[in-house]
Amino acid sequence: GTGKVTATPINGDVEYLSPVNIGGQTLNLDFDSGSSDLWVFNSQLSTASQTGHTVFNVAKSQTLQMMTGATYSISYGDGSGSAGNVGTDTVNIGGATVTSQAIELATAVSASFVEDTASNGLVGLAFSKLNTVKPTQQKTFFDNAMPNLAEPVFTADLRSNAVGAYEFGAIDTSKFNGTMQWAAVNTTNGFWQFSSEKFQVGDATPMAVPGGQAIADTGTTLMLTSAAVVNAYYANVQGAVNDQQVGGVTFPCNSQLPDLQFDVGGSFMANVKGSDINFAPVDNAGTTCFGGVQAIQSNLQIYGDIMFKSQFVAFNGGNNSIGMAPHQ
């Protein structure tokens, strides 16, 4: 079978939310190819933590079965996190259904999750080896769904300030231009990781990247790479400054940002449109804007939603590869 759901940008493309049916209840969740736990806001949480959220009502599901003794605890790169107990239930994502999916039921969530009332949890789509359930690690929705999918793939079609889609089991070739290009994924770290050794701005000399590795992460808002690449890119932008106050590089909102090409697997260069690198204004007048490409101190670069807005991406769990093509 196949399954397709909308991916709706929230709060200026900070995240993308999709409807998921769990035991007959529909929640808007954040599909995250950078982690591997499916967890939800639910009726076990304190009233305070539930404020403003749609929660999964554990008493209402006819099919929820609690997993005795199972717990989870997860913390993310941005310092947020959640923890709780675990059950199994039927999960239906746009028609793709898993009858006994591990559902992690938060009994505690960090403040940023409580504040982000649009999101009611995450669907982890990285590799199951990163799942945090103890004592028995659980499989992701994609791993469980794969045997029944027409093709062992899911795709991310994320758009700038517009509704896109996630699809399981098929690659909709009408959603991108030209031929999709593929690269090998290294699953050692549990991410959709591929080699990405260089960047290029226009026809300037390509810039090497220390470590030369990147992950495709729908759960990260920006595109995070080495400070050297960030500085070299914004050297092309009049008035760009690294503003510690704001926490990264800003520039005049009317800047003409150049496109940025990045290497994928040593086999092709993919493009991020300059317009997608203007992330958001930082001031009410809308004169100063925050860059979508920012620095990270790590040998593992994180290509987040800024990249997905320019590239239609296919994740192939059958042969562990990643496909990219410019959005149609």
Ligand X SMILES: CC(C)C[C@H](NC(=O)C[C@H](O)[C@H](CC1CCCCC1)NC(=O)CC[C@H](O)[C@H](Cc1ccccc1)NC(=O)OC(C)(C)C)C(=O)O
Question: Where on the chain is the footprint of ligand X (CB under 6 A)?
Answer: 14-15, 30, 32, 34-35, 74, 76-78, 80, 112, 116, 130, 217, 219-222
**Residue among 32, 263, 276, 305 flagged as catalytic:** 32
Q: In what order do the strands lie in the sheet with 278-281?
A: 241-243, 248-252, 288-291, 278-281
Residue closer to ligand X by CB (options 77, 206) is 77
Report the amino acid identity of residue 220. Answer: T
Q: Which of 37, 143, 157, 217 is catalytic?
A: 217
Q: Could you tell me the smallest distance in angstroms from the CB atom of residue 111 to ligand X? A: 10
- Residue 160: phi and psi, rounded to 5, are -75, 115
Q: Which is nearer to ligand X, 77 or 326 (CB)?
A: 77
Q: Which residues contact 196 (CB under 8 A, 6 or more apart)?
A: 209, 212, 213, 214, 262, 263, 264, 265, 301, 303
* DSSP assignment of 196-261: --EEESTTSPPEE-SS-EEEE-TT-SSEEE-HHHHHHHHTTSTT-EEETTTTEEEEETT--PPPEE
Q: Which amino acid is at 24?
A: G
Residue 217 annotated in active site: yes
* Residue 181: how many other CB atoms lie within 10 Å: 15
Q: Which CB atom, from 16 or from 176, has the smaller least distance to ligand X?
A: 16
CA dist 62 and 22 (Å) reads 11
DSSP lists the bridge partners of residue 83 as 73, 108
Which residues on adjacent β-strands are paired with residue 28?
19
Q: Residue 115 in 3-state DSSP?
A: helix
What minimum distance in Å lies between the beta carbon of 1 and ligand X? 27
Q: Output the smallest distance, CB 74 to ligand X, in A.
A: 5
Examine the residue annotation and report whether 37 is marked as an active-site residue of this protein: no
- The distance of closest approach from Cβ of residue 160 to ligand X in the complex, given in angstroms and rounded to an integer, is 14
**Which CB sits closer to ligand X, 125 or 145?**
125
Q: Which is nearer to ligand X, 232 or 300 (CB)?
A: 300
What is the set of active-site residues? 32, 217
